[in-house]
Amino acid sequence: MTDCPIHSLQGMRDGSIRDPGGTLSWLAELERAELHGAMTRIVRIAMGRIGGRFAPWLDEGLMMGHGLATLLDSSAGEAASLEPADGLNGGERTLRRVVSGIRNWARGSSWFARAVPRRVDPLCASQAAGTAGPDEAIVAELDIEGRELQERFTEAGLVFGVGPELMLPHLSVACAGSAGPEDQQQSTRVMLADTISARPIEQRRVLTLYFQQNLSFPEIAELTDLPPARVQELYGRAAVCIRAELLDRLPMCAGEGG
C-alpha cells in the first residue's frame, strides 16, 4: 500500500517526489468531482429562482444541462464559488447568468409558447379588476375542476418564474395620448403598489421574499414552512392578478409590444 501523506502532494506536483501510486491522477479526479459538485449546487440554486416544481412542464435534467453549459460558456465555472469577489457579490452575478441562461432556454420551449395564451391568459381574463374572484367562480368560468385550477396556478407560477416580465405587460410601450414616459412609469408604479397591497398576505409575502430578498422558491418554502409547489402556486396567483390588473388599466397598450 502506497503512503500518500498530505505534505507529499506538492512535491508530487512539482516533480520532486515520484508518484508511483497514481496519486496525482486520483487528486485530479477528486478536484474535478468537487468542481462539478460546486457547479451543480450553483445551478440548483439558479433553478430554484425559476420555480419550485418543474414537472410535467419542464425537464429538470435538461434545465441542469443548460445551466451547466451557461457556467462553462461564460467561464463562470472556472471559479465556481458563491463567495464575494473584488468587493462585489460575484456569486450573485454567477447565479444571475445561470438564471438568465435557463430562462432563455425555457422561453424557447413549446410548453412556454402554449402555456401563456392557452392557460395563463384565460386565468388573467377570469380575474375581476384588481381582485381575484373566488376559486369557485373561476372554476365555473373556465369549466375546469378545482384540482385543475390549483395546477394551473402552479403552472402559471413557473411561467412567471421563466418570464417575470410578463407580469408587467407593455410597460415599455408609450400609449398614444398618454402622459410622458416618466409620468407613465410613476403611474404604473402606483398601480403596481395598489395591486400588490390588495393581494392576500401569503401572496404579498412570497412576492416580497422573491423580488426584494432574492430568495429562491425552495428557500421561501423553508422560511414559510410551505411546500415549494405551494409557494409557486401563491406566486402564480399573485402574478396572474397583477398582469390582469395592469392589462385592465392600460387598455390602449393592449396588442402592442410583447
Specify whether 102 is located in the same domain as 122. no
- Let me know if residue 10 belongs to a domain: no
Reading the block at residue 23, the C-alpha cell is: 496519486
What pLDDT shows up at residue 6? 41
Reading the block at residue 172, the C-alpha cell is: 415599455
Domain count, the chain: 2
Rounded-to-integer distance, Cα 185 and Cα 162, Å: 24
Cα angle value 161/163/164 (rounded, 5°): 70
What pLDDT shows up at residue 248? 77
- Let me know if residue 185 belongs to a domain: yes
Q: Taking 50 as the threshold, does the pLDDT of residue 59 lie above it?
A: yes
Specify whether 233 is located in the same domain as 127. yes
Give the structural domain span for 97. 20-107
**pLDDT-based confidence at residue 113 (cuts at 50, 70, 90):** very high
- Let me know if residue 183 belongs to a domain: yes
Query: Can you tell me the mean pLDDT for 33-54?
Result: 91
* In the chain, alpha helices (H): 9-14, 23-48, 60-73, 90-107, 110-115, 121-125, 135-142, 146-162, 181-197, 201-207, 217-224, 228-249
Q: Taking 70 as the threshold, does the pLDDT of residue 66 lie above it?
A: yes
pTM of the model: 0.77
Q: Taking 80 as the threshold, does the pLDDT of residue 22 lie above it?
A: no
Reading the block at residue 217, the C-alpha cell is: 422558491
What pLDDT shows up at residue 126? 86
Least confident of 20-24, 58-62, 80-84: 80-84
Specify whether 154 is located in the same domain as 89. no
Rounded-to-integer distance, Cα 208 and Cα 129, Å: 22
Neighbour tally for 3: CB within 10 Å: 7
Rounded-to-integer distance, Cα 46 and Cα 48, Å: 5
Query: Can you tell me the mean pLDDT for 97-118?
Result: 96
Q: Taking 80 as the threshold, does the pLDDT of residue 151 lie above it?
A: yes
Q: Are 130 and 22 in contact (CB under 8 A)?
A: no
Reading the block at residue 47, the C-alpha cell is: 433553478
Rounded-to-integer distance, Cα 154 and Cα 164, Å: 14
Query: Which residue, chain included where needed, has cell 421561501?
Result: 220
From 49, 73, 107, the end of a domain falls on 107
- Let me know if residue 86 belongs to a domain: yes
**pLDDT-based confidence at residue 174 (cuts at 50, 70, 90):** very low
**pLDDT-based confidence at residue 183 (cuts at 50, 70, 90):** low
Specify whether 53 is located in the same domain as 101. yes
Query: Which residue, chain included where needed, has cell 367562480?
Result: 137
What pLDDT shows up at residue 14? 55
Specify whether 156 is located in the same domain as 172. yes
